[in-house]
Amino acid sequence: MIRSMTLSDVDDVLAIELSVQAYPWTRGNFVDALNSGYLAYVDEAAGELRGFSVLMPGVDEAELLNIGVAASHQRKGLGREMLAAMQDEAAQRRLFRVFLEVRASNLAAIALYCRAGFSEVGLRRGYYGHGSEDALVMACDIPSPLTPDGTTSQSTKPASVQVAGYLPQVGEGDESVEGINSSSLPQAGERLGEREYG
């Protein structure tokens, strides 16, 4: 079951983060995300947290800041389910696009994102590992939710991305998401991220 993350979940979320991320967030990063009103969720089954995600909403766009699945629950489709839940949440909030970043070598994550409707919109050279690896910037247009008569309540806006000034990111595996995150938590209203796929 995917539900909203609470402060009482942070220690369990951090344990997953530390086990799957190359450059993990701190406990304070998760607390700050919750306090900033970011859309943070966990997947829980039988009292065990299996995964988490953090989405930063903007005025009409969002950035997936962090997503991770516990090692014992990877390759079971959970990452895909959590990603779909984030896209649904963006649609309900009238956010017309979701951005993310992923390491160029993370072919499984790239394939997952492409299946979920993301496409490459830019390249940040030398973004990961102190300049050793490029980051792909990917984006997905989010359709507006349907009104009761079956029509969309608002039209999707055209794509217009200024990659040089935008630092999004995210990463996840084929049928799982090991983890991707931003190494420094953006402030409300900023578009800042530096995700790593663990």
Q: Just list the catalytic residues.
A: 101, 113
What does the alpha-carbon distance between residue 60 and residue 140 come to, in Å, rounded to a whole number? 13
Tokens of 187: 């402030």
What does the alpha-carbon distance between residue 158 and residue 136 come to, in Å, rounded to a whole number? 20
Which amino acid does the sequence have at 35?
A: N
What does the alpha-carbon distance between residue 64 and residue 57 come to, in Å, rounded to a whole number? 9
What does the alpha-carbon distance between residue 21 and residue 172 come to, in Å, rounded to a whole number? 11
Show Cβ contacts of residue 54 under 8 Å, excluding neighbours closer than 6 positions.
5, 30, 33, 38, 39, 40, 41, 64, 65, 66, 67, 181
